[in-house]
């Protein structure tokens, strides 16, 4: 996706310091016009670049490129787990879609990351805003035996994600059934589980995870719900908040390690080992919720989650209903 000249320029600007147009042109052995056009290309991707007369160009925030070798080396591979294969792309339509499309060619424990997604997806086909070089867009392919119950997998993934984020200093995180990671009622991340059945009967599952690290203002304008990023949480809006943002490569390695351990155990253990923490960190149980399900809308109280990951609701007439993720929209009432 990136031309050689644009790739070279972004590497020089990655430190967040000013670089004069003349020095960049001399270093890159190109013209100042080419430097200017490359800056425009990076700005079109969503990177925030300042141009100041007499000082040159700089990225508003220091930038760290995702590195497959660095991520692979940092992954802790659980016993009896296939060795992970990590790939990093500049741009994909969707990391989940890419793994599903090429699943027959891949071993288990295939991990895919992208600097940018042009058609990032959330649950129920929602758009996931995915600007270049700003966040984490990670998908992991795994194979399960046919017949295993995977209904609670997104809940377990949410728990492991929160565990990683807590080690990085993020507090007050909450999980919304079945796949959202929230901070103070604002969306920090989302999980998308997709599966296909192979001819030999195995179930191929792709776990997709999107986390907001540092959303550029222009990209954030396209989000239609309350959102937050890690920079805001850790930095508190201060001028030093960029220093608080953790390494994307470290995060990718830590998340991959946790997800591999989870998937390696989930086939035999199911959701049970993760339920206690999910219940501790959830923001749904005991709350009034509005449910949109198969053309009908109703209100109820969320009372529990089953061992299979279904949400137990108590309707106003006293009846209980089990809610599987499926094509269901759930909104937590904040006025009740």
Torsion of CA 93, 97, 103, 104, to 10 degrees: -80
In this predicted structure, what is the pLDDT of residue 121?
Answer: 74
Instruction: Give the residue-averaged pLDDT of 179-194.
Output: 95
Q: What is the distance between the alpha carbons of residues 117 and 107, in angstroms, rounded to a whole number?
A: 23
Pick the range with the lowest mean pLDDT from 105-119, 152-166, 322-336: 322-336
**b or e along 26-42 (b: 16 or more beta carbons within 10 Å of the residue's beta carbon)?**
eebebeeebbeebbebb
Name the band, by pLDDT with cuts 50, 70 and 90, for residue 125. low
* CATH 3.40.50.10490 is held by the domain 68-279: no
Element (H, E) at 159: helix 153-167
In this predicted structure, what is the pLDDT of residue 236?
Answer: 61
In this predicted structure, what is the pLDDT of residue 239?
Answer: 43
pLDDT at 241 over 60: no
Q: For residue 265, what are the contacts with CB-CB under 8 A and spacing of at least 6?
A: 78, 273
Instruction: Classify residue 92 as exposed, middle or buried by CB count within 10 Å of its CB (0-12, 13-18, 19+).
Output: buried
Compare 2 and 77 and report the one with higher pLDDT: 77
Compare 183 and 21 and report the one with higher pLDDT: 183
Could you tell me where in the chain the CATH 2.30.30.100 domains are found? Answer: 284-332
Could you tell me where in the chain the CATH 1.10.10.10 domains are found? Answer: 4-59
**Which one is the CATH code of 4-59: 1.10.10.10, 3.40.1190.20, 1.10.275.10, 3.30.360.10?**
1.10.10.10
pLDDT digits (tens, 9 = 90+) for 209-230: 999 998 887 777 777 788 999 9
Instruction: Give the residue-averaged pLDDT of 28-49.
Output: 87
Architecture of domain 284-332: Roll (2.30)
Q: What is the distance between the alpha carbons of residues 56 and 74, in angstroms, rounded to a whole number?
A: 36
Q: What is the distance between the alpha carbons of residues 259 and 278, in angstroms, rounded to a whole number?
A: 16
> What tokens appear for 223 in the block?
């989000």
pLDDT digits (tens, 9 = 90+) for 160-180: 999 999 999 999 999 999 999
> What tokens appear for 35 in the block?
């430097």
In this predicted structure, what is the pLDDT of residue 16?
Answer: 83
Q: What is the distance between the alpha carbons of residues 15 and 8, in angstroms, rounded to a whole number?
A: 13
Q: What is the distance between the alpha carbons of residues 45 and 217, in angstroms, rounded to a whole number?
A: 13
Could you tell me where in the chain the CATH 3.30.930.10 domains are found? Answer: 68-279
pLDDT at 124 over 70: no
Strands, E assignment, the chain? 49-52, 56-59, 85-92, 110-117, 136-144, 173-176, 180-183, 186-197, 203-211, 288-293, 296-305, 311-315, 320-323, 328-332
Mean pLDDT score of the chain: 89
Name the band, by pLDDT with cuts 50, 70 and 90, for residue 305. very high
- pTM of the model as a whole: 0.90
pLDDT digits (tens, 9 = 90+) for 85-119: 999 999 999 999 999 999 989 988 999 999 999 88
Element (H, E) at 92: strand 85-92
Q: What angle do CA 146, 148, 151 make, to 5 degrees?
A: 125
pLDDT at 24 over 70: yes
Which active-site residues does the annotation give? 123, 187, 331
């Amino acid at each position: 996706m990136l031309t050689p000249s644009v790739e070279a320029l972004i590497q020089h600007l990655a430190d967040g310091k000013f670089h004069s147009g003349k020095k960049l042109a001399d270093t890159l052995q190109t013209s100042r016009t080419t430097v200017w056009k490359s800056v425009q290309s990076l700005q079109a991707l969503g990177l925030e670049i300042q141009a100041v007369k007499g000082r040159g160009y700089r990225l508003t925030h220091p930038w760290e490129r995702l590195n497959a070798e660095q991520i692979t080396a940092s992954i802790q591979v659980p016993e009896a787990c296939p060795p992970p294969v990590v790939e990093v792309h500049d741009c994909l339509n969707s990391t989940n879609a890419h793994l599903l499309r090429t699943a027959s060619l891949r071993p288990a424990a295939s991990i895919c990351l992208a600097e940018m997604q042009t058609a990032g997806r959330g649950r129920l086909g929602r758009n996931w805003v995915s600007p270049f070089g700003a966040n984490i867009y990670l998908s992991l392919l795994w194979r399960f035996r046919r017949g295993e119950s995977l209904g609670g997998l997104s809940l377990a993934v949410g728990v492991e994600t929160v565990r990683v984020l807590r080690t990085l200093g993020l507090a007050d995180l909450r999980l919304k059934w079945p796949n959202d990671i929230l901070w103070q009622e604002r969306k920090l991340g989302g999980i998308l589980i997709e599966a296909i059945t192979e001819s030999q009967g195995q179930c191929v599952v792709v776990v997709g995870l999107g986390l907001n690290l540092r959303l550029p203002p222009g990209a954030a304008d396209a989000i239609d719900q309350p959102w937050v990023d890690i920079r805001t949480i850790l930095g508190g809006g201060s001028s030093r908040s960029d220093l608080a943002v953790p390494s994307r490569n470290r995060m990718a390695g830590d998340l991959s390690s946790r997800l591999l351990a989870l998937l390696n155990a989930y086939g035999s253990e199911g959701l049970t080992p993760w339920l206690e923490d999910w219940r501790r960190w959830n923001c749904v149980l005991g709350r009034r919720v509005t449910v949109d399900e198969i053309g009908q809308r109703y209100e109820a109280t969320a009372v529990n989650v089953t061992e299979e990951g279904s949400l137990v609701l108590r309707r106003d007439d006293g009846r209980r209903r089990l809610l599987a993720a499926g094509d269901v929209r759930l909104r937590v009432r904040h006025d009740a």
